[in-house]
């Protein structure tokens, strides 16, 4: 709160904060504007039916998109195409040497990779919008509980709706980049944060108040709110935790000047993989559920999927979810952090870890430390990801709990990062103002 008050006192920061608020308002307005060709009255009736059902996957996706998915708005795709494209481009660095070379080029290479990410985002937006419209037309998107939401099923109408939804994704991507350049925080993360919070708070309040104001339970609400607060504090603590490996640089003579001789450290986060493992695990487990929606509900395999993989409290779901989180925690860290490259860079600039020889010995040591950190990080992610399941089973709640492990990690991580950037910019402007006032006083004294 103190940081926010100080930020509003500075004109430049106040303008940045107001700009971010303006972009958020535009984003939220677009989430409620339906695309042409859909029956909005039928959609509202559909969402009301789904709100009272125990259907799991669609409700969570709608919560993550800020409620725009089930309303088939112009921003129905939200930020998911961009997130998917960013992850795919990052993973392709292992497969395509050209991408890895661009990553090593610095700012120019990252600019080129960002351009590839934009192209892939548009392609994924076309694919995802087509899939959503086809499933909405067949009724599978609303779990076959609604009437015809798209009366006109002609090819021309479908093309127009796909173009509008794809254009909405492009607009969101542009707004996110504007927030990053002219506002505070990482633009795409801020929009994800607002999408989750827009559906998160009403669902949390619904536990105590009830869907119709009469069937709530304030005891369960207090327990859920208390556990959520404790988990958020715990997540902030772990996300800030680091393993600092000391690094010593030798003194080197370059020309007539002596460089080096300093001591620093290599910061390694406990959770190097971030929120990626829960997202990957939940996305993969959602695929069989989506396939089962198109099958005959009387068939044995469809019933097995609905009982075991569509239910987040089943033993099969918990076991597969646990294995996937642990796997992706190690896998994604292996991609994003290369001990050999880090050791070579340290050796090139004359750096070494005290007690460890430079080169391959340093690489082996870093790999050993990362494996230990990944073990702790995987346990931490499992704890946070399975807390909602434990609450559902202990309090006998339905599966539409207002938060999940991914939601907690995003809210805590994005909020913490945004506040950190706001504090850094506040101190920067205060320091610049101090220097400006000091120079003015010196000129006046002269």
Q: What is the pLDDT of residue 369?
A: 92
**Among positive and negative, which fits the CA dihedral 418, 86, 410, 52?**
positive
State residue 53's pLDDT score.
43
Q: Answer for the pair 137, 13: CB distance below 8 angstroms, yes or no.
A: no
pLDDT 10s digits, 266-311: 888 888 888 888 878 877 887 787 777 667 777 888 888 878 887 7
The alpha carbon dihedral of 194, 195, 199, 200 has a sign of negative
Q: Indicate the SS3 state at residue 1.
A: coil
- CA-CA distance, 341 to 430, in Å (whole number)? 38
Percent of the chain residues topping a pLDDT of 90: 11
- From CA 277, how far away is CA 324, in angstroms rounded? 7
Domain ranges of the chain: 14-216
User: What pLDDT digit, counting tens, does each position of 425-441 carry?
Assistant: 777 666 555 444 445 45
Domain 14-216 has CATH 1.10.10.60: no
**What is the pLDDT, as a whole number, of residue 364?**
92
User: Pick the residue with more confidence: 148 or 175?
Assistant: 175
Higher pLDDT, 363 or 402: 363
Range among 44-58, 208-222, 227-241 rated most confident: 227-241
User: 103-138 burial by CB neighbour count: b if 16+ within 10 A, else e?
Assistant: eeeeeebeeebeebbbebbbebbbebbbebbeebbe
Q: Quote the pLDDT of residue 434.
A: 46
pLDDT in tens, 31-57: 888 888 888 788 777 766 665 444 445
The mean pLDDT value of the chain amounts to 79
pLDDT at 258: 59
pLDDT at 192: 81
């Amino acid at each position: 709160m103190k940081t926010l008050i100080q930020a509003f006192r500075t004109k430049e920061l106040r303008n940045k904060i107001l700009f971010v608020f303006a972009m958020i308002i535009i984003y939220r307005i677009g989430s409620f504007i339906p695309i042409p060709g859909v029956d909005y009255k039928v959609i509202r009736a559909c969402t009301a039916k789904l709100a009272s059902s125990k259907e799991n996957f669609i409700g969570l996706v709608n919560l993550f998109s800020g409620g725009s998915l089930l309303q088939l708005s112009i921003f129905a795709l939200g930020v998911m195409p961009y997130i998917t494209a960013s992850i795919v481009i990052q993973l392709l660095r292992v497969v395509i040497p050209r991408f890895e070379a661009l990553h090593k080029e610095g700012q120019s290479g990252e600019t080129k990779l960002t351009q590839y990410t934009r192209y892939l985002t548009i392609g994924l937006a076309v694919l995802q919008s087509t899939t959503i419209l086809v499933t909405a037309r067949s009724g599978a998107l609303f779990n076959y509980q609604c009437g015809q939401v798209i009366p006109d099923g002609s090819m021309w109408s479908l093309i127009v709706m796909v173009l509008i939804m794809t254009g909405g994704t492009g607009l969101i991507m542009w707004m996110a980049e504007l927030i990053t350049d002219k506002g505070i925080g990482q633009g795409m993360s801020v929009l994800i944060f607002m999408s989750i919070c827009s559906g998160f708070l009403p669902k949390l309040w619904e536990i105590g108040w009830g869907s119709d104001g009469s069937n709530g339970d304030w005891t369960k609400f207090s327990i859920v709110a208390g556990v959520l607060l404790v988990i958020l504090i715990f997540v902030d603590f772990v996300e800030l935790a680091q393993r600092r490996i000391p690094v010593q640089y030798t003194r080197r003579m370059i020309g007539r000047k002596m460089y080096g001789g300093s001591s620093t450290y290599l910061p390694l986060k406990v959770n190097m993989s971030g929120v990626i493992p829960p997202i990957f695990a939940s996305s993969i487990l959602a695929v069989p559920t989506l396939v089962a929606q198109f099958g005959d509900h009387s068939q044995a395999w469809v019933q097995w999927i609905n009982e075991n993989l569509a239910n987040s409290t089943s033993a099969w779901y918990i076991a597969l979810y646990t294995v996937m989180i642990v796997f992706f925690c190690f896998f994604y860290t292996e991609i994003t952090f290369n001990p050999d490259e880090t050791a070579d860079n340290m050796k090139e600039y004359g750096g070494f870890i005290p007690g460890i020889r430079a080169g391959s010995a340093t690489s082996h040591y870093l790999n050993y430390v990362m494996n230990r950190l990944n073990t702790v990080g995987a346990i931490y992610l499992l704890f946070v990801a399975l807390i909602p399941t434990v609450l559902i089973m202990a309090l006998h709640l339905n599966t539409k709990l207002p938060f999940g492990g991914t939601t907690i990690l995003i809210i805590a991580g994005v909020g913490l990062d945004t506040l950190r950037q706001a504090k850094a910019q506040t101190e920067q402007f205060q320091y610049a103002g101090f220097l400006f006032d000091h120079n003015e006083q010196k000129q006046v004294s002269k």
